[in-house]
Amino acid sequence: MGLFDQFKNKAVQSVGSAVDNTVRQAAQIVGNHGETISFSSLPQDLSQLQALPHADLQNPYGTAALAVAALCRYGESVDDCIQMLNYLRGPRPLSPMDLQFLRDRLGGKEYVPISYFEGTSPQNNYTPSVPYRITVKRNPYSEHGADFLTLYVHSSGADSDRIVEVRRKVSTGQWFLWEAKCLSDIRKPAQQDPWA
C-alpha cells in the first residue's frame, strides 16, 4: 500500500470516528431527559394523592415521583402507603410478595424514600427542603418497547441512581407504576450512624 493510500485510509477512519461520536452524542442529548416534580406537602392518604397535579397518571415522570412520595408514608401508616401504591399500580395491585418486600426494605429504614428529595443528606438525617422537589430522569436506553419506561431517581445517600419502572396502559394512555427498584440500602442518617 502506497503512502497516499495509507493517508486516505487514516483520513476515512478519522472522519468515520468523528461521525460516530457526533451521532452518539446526539442520541444521548435526545434520549436524556428529566423533569423535576414539586409537592407543597407529601400525600398522607389516597385522597390527598389523587388531588395532586400528576394523579391523572398521564405523565410517566409524575407517576414515578408520586410513587416515591407514597413510599415516604410507609413509616407513619403502612395502610395509607399501600392504598396509594395500589392506585399508582392500577390493574396490578401489590401482591403478598410485594408487601413482604416493602416490609424487608423499609422496616426501620423509612428514610430511604425521602432521600430522593432535594435538600436531603445523611448529615441532616435526610431532611428535605420544602417544597418537596424530586428529579426523575431517563436515558437513551429507558424505553422497553412502546409501553415500558425505566426512569431514574437519585438518592442523596447513594452513589448511583435508582430505578422506577412504569408501564403505559394503551386504552387510557396512563402510566402506572410497574416496579419501584429504589429501595436498596443507602448510607445511614447521621443520628443512626455510630461512626458519623
72-75: long-range contacts, CB 8 A cutoff, minimum separation 24? 72/42, 72/110, 72/113, 72/114, 73/42, 73/43, 73/44, 73/45, 74/102, 74/106, 74/110, 74/113, 75/106, 75/110
Q: Does some domain include residue 60?
A: yes
- Domain span holding position 69: 34-182
Is 8's pLDDT higher than 70?
Answer: no
Q: What is the mean pLDDT of residues 81-85?
A: 98
Question: What is the pLDDT of the chain when averaged over all its residues?
Answer: 89
Could you tell me the pTM of the whole model?
0.83
Which residues are CB-contacts of 92 (< 8 A; sequence separation ≥ 6)? 176, 178
Is 23's pLDDT higher than 50?
Answer: no
Confidence of residue 10 (pLDDT cuts 50, 70, 90): low
Q: Does some domain include residue 81?
A: yes
Q: Does some domain include residue 39?
A: yes
Q: Does some domain include residue 7?
A: no
Q: What is the pLDDT of residues 61-76, one digit of tens each?
A: 999 999 999 999 999 9
Q: What is the pLDDT of residues 117-158, one digit of tens each?
A: 999 999 999 999 999 999 999 999 999 888 999 999 999 999
Q: Does some domain include residue 195?
A: no
Q: Does some domain include residue 18?
A: no
Q: Count of domains in the chain? A: 1
Q: Does some domain include residue 174?
A: yes
Q: Does some domain include residue 154?
A: yes
